[in-house]
Structure 1
Amino acid sequence: MKPGEQFLEAALFGANAGNGVGAGTKRDPIRFRTIWISDVHLGTTGCQAARLLEFLRATESDTLYLVGDIIDGWQLKRRWYWDQVHNNVVQTVLKKARKGTEVIFVPGNHDEAVRQFIDLDFGGIRIRDELVHTTAQGKRMLVLHGDRFDGVIACAKWLAYVGDSLYTVILKFNQWFNGWRARAGLPYWSLSQYLKLKVKNAVNYISSFEDALAAEAQKKGLDGVICGHIHKPEIRDINGIKYCNDGDWVESLSALVEEASGELRLVTWQEIMQQKNAVSGKKVGELCALPS
């Protein structure tokens, strides 16, 4: 079965993803109007699926956008890897769709097999190539993965595969390195992201990519653009266009969210977990303070 079809066929299974952030506890999720996540790369050892699962269970939204590279078909073609937590992520997304969240999947280059299903709906998930999201403030934002604006992907796909293999090696080292940091009581740190931002050509590439996406939104007469692909979370103004990149779930562990007010901001797994724990701790404290 093709990796893209694996995701879609998951809608036929009845596995339960769990009902709370912690076993045996009922906690109110943190609510947003909209959430965007991308570049999860399920099917790889570098995917931070357990942390994404915590994030998904700790949050709710009216709309959830999956902005490409949710499943890494490139890696799955080389070597099959799919553990239970990866399946739990898929099941949690499907559960959200069943419970009323509007889930929109915009495939990327790593899950390009799903592009054959563009404009179809599966298991309550709408599959679209690109679309316009209107915020609560009335801002019209172009939503797309962004790979077609990547010169390496568009003009030299074989080079992208070579780079992807090297990137996988760096991620494996990064996983080992952060295991050591966790045992030492140190926070998560992304080696691959650090290396990318220290290389001048990479910085120039990122800047060119961002400019190209902003120009596309401007050409369409829109207020901004929301994308993924380059694994660099960012919100900035480019010639009057609001450029937003939601990051990824192998390095930055980030998402873009829209508050009820229409404000767009970036959040991280660490931030959501801290907020969730703070709220839970407050509720426990209030309960303990009640007179007996």
Structure 2
Amino acid sequence: MKKRKVDLVVISDVHLGTFGCHAKELLLYLDSIKPKKLILNGDIVDIWQFRKSYFPKSHLEVIKKVIDLSAKGTEVFYITGNHDDLLRKFTDVKMGKISVLDKLVLELDGKKAWFFHGDVFDASIQNAKWLAKLGGWGYDILILINRFVNWCLIKMKREKFSLSKKIKNSVKKAIKHIQDFEKVASDLAIENNYKYVICGHIHQPQIVRKVNKFGTCLYLNSGDWVENLTSLEYHKGKWNLEHFQKENYEKEVVSTEEDLSEIQNLVAAITITSKQ
């Protein structure tokens, strides 16, 4: 496959080390691009949910791929999130072309862009970390159940669906949380004269123009690689929200038999963890 040249790519919320991570799909996407800059905007490795019993080869290959990209000239910025907050001890450390940061400001074609993960706006993270971690475990189990359900649906030649998206979209409080998040981020960006504000954290891919009485900015969210499989691309002065589509790639991602085998491995991992 011929690699697409891209000025800048933003990926967030990969959650390597969890059952829901779509590492194989992410590898296909990373193999298809040649970015000048790669911004990993938080929650790439899920240290909160990390367990010795579950860290597949494909998850390690994602880390290797990022290192390979940096070795070939791509400038990599790793912005820490809440699930990989232990890396904040290494803020401002630079290893070759890989930098670890809490936030980042870049100038893109004369316009300032502000990149940060977004967990700073989340009261549940700041004030009750243990509760947030418990919620993360529950979310992981929900994703595992969803994979099994979708495997059954594929066997019956029916369309897949997302349990977590359905729950989020039916809960008014969740919708309001997303709206509040976008408003706070964009208001702060406008106040500080940033033309772009780019976040992750809420797993809600988005590109939308935000306006208040003081000005305007473009709010962008890179989504995630658990449910949405999305990234942001900036090239030749334009932003694009890229949705991973299996049929756009030459190699097959995963067969249904492999899916079932993986589900069995995931169940075994949960069993081992629960006994620890």
TM-score, normalised relative to structure 2: 0.84
Residue 276 to residue 175, structure 1, CA distance change in 2 (3 Å): closer
Contact 2:28 2:249 in 1 (8 A): no
- Asked whether the equivalents of residues 115 and 197 of structure 2 are also in contact (C-alpha less than 8 Å), the reply is yes
Residue 131 (1) aligns with residue 107 (2): no
Matched, 1:254 2:226: no
Q: What do the CA deviations read for 1:190-231 (whole angstroms, capped 9, x no partner)?
A: 221222122100000111111111122122211120010000
- Mapped to 2, the partners of 1:29 and 1:275 lie a distance apart of 13
Instruction: Output the CA distance in 2 between the equivalents of 1:63 and 1:225.
Output: 17
1:253: Cα distance to partner? 0.4
1:49 aligned partner? 23
Mapped pair 1:84 → 2:57: yes
List gaps (5 residues or longer) in structure 2.
Answer: 251-276
Q: Which amino acid aligns with 2:219?
A: Y
- Aligned 8 A contact 1:30 1:276 in 2: no
Correspondence list, 1:1-292, <5 A? 27-76=1-50, 80-136=53-109, 138-186=110-158, 188-239=160-211, 240-259=216-235, 261-270=236-245, 273-277=246-250
TM-score (norm 1): 0.80
Task: Give, in whole Å, the separation in 1 of the partners of 2:27 and 2:248.
Answer: 16
Equivalent in the alignment of 2:256: none
**Per the alignment, do residues 205 and 274 of structure 1 end up closer, same or farther by CA in structure 2, a change over 3 Å counting?**
same
Quickly say closer, same or farther: Cα 1:118–1:177, change in 2 above 3 A: same
In structure 2, C-alpha distance between the alignment counterparts of 1:58 and 1:184, rounded to whole Å: 31
Separation in 2, partners of 1:125, 1:131: 13
Structure 1 counterpart of 2:197, one-letter code: V
CA shift for structure 1 position 124? 2.8
* Contact in 2 for aligned 1:43/1:80 (Cα 8 Å): no
- Do 1:94 and 1:123's aligned partners in 2 also have CA atoms closer than 8 Å? no
Amino acid in structure 1 at the alignment position of 2:69 = K
Deviations 1:85-123 (A, max 9, x none): 111100001000000001100010100111111111125
- 2:184 partner letter: A
CA displacement at 1:162 relative to structure 2: 2.4
Report if the CA contact (8 A) 2:42-2:79 is conserved. yes
CA distance 1:190–1:134, change in 2 (3 Å): farther
Q: The residue matched to 1:92 in structure 2 has which SS?
A: helix
SS at match of 2:48: helix
Q: Please state how far the C-alpha of 1:28 moved relative to its aligned partner.
A: 1.1
CA distance in structure 2 between the aligned counterparts of 1:142 and 1:186, rounded to whole angstroms: 41
On the 8 A contact 1:213/1:225 being kept in 2, the answer is yes
Alpha-carbon shift at residue 246 of structure 1 (Å): 0.2
Aligned residues: 246
Higher strand share: 2
Q: Which amino acid aligns with 1:176?
A: F
Backbone CA RMSD of aligned residues: 1.6
How much has 1:79 moved relative to structure 2? Answer: 5.5
Structure 1 unmatched runs, 5+: 1-26, 278-292
Q: Identify the range of structure 1 (62-71 vs 179-188) with the bigger mean alpha-carbon deviation.
A: 179-188
> Which residue identity lines up with residue 265 of structure 1 in the other structure?
N
Which 10-residue stretch deviates more, 43-52 or 215-224?
A: 215-224
Q: State the alpha-carbon separation in 2 of the partners of residues 126 and 190 from structure 1.
A: 34
**Equivalent-residue separation in structure 1 for 2:71 and 2:167 (angstroms):** 41
